[in-house]
Structures are given as C-alpha cells and as structure tokens.
Chain A
Amino acid sequence: AAGVIQSPRHLIKEKRETATLKCYPIPRHDTVYWYQQGPGQDPQFLISFYEKMQSDKGSIPDRFSAQQFSDYHSELNMSSLELGDSALYFCASSGLSVSGEQYFGPGTRLTVL
C-alpha cells in the first residue's frame, strides 16, 4: 500500500539559510500534520491542514510557514535557520474513513551547521 512520502530525506543547511520540506500524503487522505522530533524526544506537533486550510497550530516558530496545495501535498518552509532547528521532521496524513489514525512518513533529517 502507498505510504506517506517525504523529501528530501536528509538536508544540511547553514545558519540563517532557508529550507523547504515536502510531504505527499497517502492517496485520498485530506489532512496533513507536521511534527518535529529532537534527539531522544517524542514528536511535537507543529501545524496541520485539512482540505488545504490550516486546521490547527502548535509550537511552530514564526520563522516557519506551511501550506497544503490543491493536490493535497504540503510544504514546510523554514527561514533564518538556527542550530536548534536540527531535528527529524515528520509529516503524517489521515483521512475521514480512518478518523484518528495518522500515518507517518519516513521523515526529513535536517542538520543546521
């Protein structure tokens, strides 16, 4: 079965640079969630989109923005990167038919030098 696709899998950036992470949800899933996971930590919710509209917002820095496009893929844009932004970033998707169940992608490992 098709899973959530994230790209790139690994990204290395310098401080103050910009990064864009992409997420392609499972086909027919209409909701996308973004999570950040630091080393040895549990995933922390950043932001979510339902039917291309922002549905919830967590502890996402103002330097980050995200959107969901007409084909339901989502992008997380991160500007003025800081060392503390180094983490695993996961996208998860869900659909109405499996309400509550979120399926995670493989993640993007962002390293800020």
Chain B
Amino acid sequence: GQQLNQSPQSMFIQEGEDVSMNCTSSSIFNTWLWYKQDPGEGPVLLIALYKAGELTSNGRLTAQFGITRKDSFLNISASIPSDVGIYFCAGQLYGNKLVFGAGTILRVKS
C-alpha cells in the first residue's frame, strides 16, 4: 500500500528557532495536508496544498507541495512553546482517504 516517510521522527529545539520537517512518498498524491495533534486530541488541520509546486503560508507556518507530487515540507518559523505537539503529513488522492506519515514529535525548550 501507499506509505509516507516523514522525518525527522522527533525534534527538541530552542524557543525562537525555525523548524523544518518533510514527507516523501513512492506514490503521487494530488493533495497534501499537514495536521498538528496534541495528546489525546484530534488532529487539527494546519495547511492544505492542492497544486504541484504550490507554496502556502498560514501565520508562522509555510508548506510546499513538491513539484514531483511525491513530497511536501512544513516549516515553522520562530517557534514558541505552544508549537509543541505531533505534526503529521497526509497525502490524499481525489478527495478520498488520507494516508498519514508516522509523525514528527516537536518539543520546544523555553
């Protein structure tokens, strides 16, 4: 089946630093989404990308849909303590089920 490789697995950074994480796939997706999940809660949609090469920002978050349609990255600038959580990438074909990466655990040292 389709699999996404998400890296890094975890990050422990200083408050104020920038963060970068990415996902790659052996399959093409026509939509990439990035979610943040706090423990025991549902994933919250951060950014959705629909077009190869698309670069989208949402506040301090920036994400890009790779030109090959097989990868995406998420950057967080000037991290703050509330950025702590698990970040998941998800690929989607034609509005159907989401295939998730394994997640990146982000810890911020203040």
Quick check: is A7 within 8 A (CB to CB) of the other chain? no
Closest residue of chain A to B92 (Cβ to Cβ) is: A100
CB < 8 Å: which of B45, B50, B97, B101 contacts A56? B97
Please tell me if the beta carbons of A103 and B45 are within 8 angstroms of each other in the complex.
Answer: yes
CA–CA, A103 to B45, complex, Å? 7
Quick check: is B33 within 8 A (CB to CB) of the other chain? yes
Give the total of A residues in contact with B, Cβ under 8 Å. Answer: 27
CA–CA, A42 to B92, complex, Å? 15
Cβ–Cβ < 8 Å partners of A106 in chain B: 41-42
Please tell me if the beta carbons of B97 and A33 are within 8 angstroms of each other in the complex.
Answer: yes
Quick check: is A105 within 8 A (CB to CB) of the other chain? yes
Please tell me if the beta carbons of A101 and B43 are within 8 angstroms of each other in the complex.
Answer: no
Cβ–Cβ < 8 Å partners of B28 in chain A: none
Please tell me if the beta carbons of A48 and B43 are within 8 angstroms of each other in the complex.
Answer: no
Quick check: is B67 within 8 A (CB to CB) of the other chain? no
Range, interface on chain B:
20 to 34
Cβ–Cβ < 8 Å partners of A41 in chain B: 102
**CB-defined interface of B65-100 with A at 8 Å, one 1/0 digit per residue?**
000000000000000000000001000100111111
A42-B102, A100-B31, A101-B48 given as contacts; is B42 within 8 A of A107 (CB)?
yes
**CB-defined interface of A8-49 with B at 8 Å, one 1/0 digit per residue?**
000000000000000000000001010100000111110010
- A34 → chain B, closest Cβ, in Å? 10
Q: Show 22 residue pairs from A and B whose CB-CB distance is below 8 angstroms, ordered by the A residue.
A: A31-B95, A42-B101, A43-B98, A45-B99, A48-B97, A55-B96, A56-B96, A90-B43, A92-B98, A100-B33, A100-B95, A101-B45, A102-B33, A102-B45, A102-B92, A103-B45, A104-B42, A104-B43, A104-B44, A106-B41, A107-B41, A109-B40
Residues of B in contact with A (beta carbons under 8 Å apart):
31, 33, 35, 40-45, 48, 50, 88, 92, 95-103
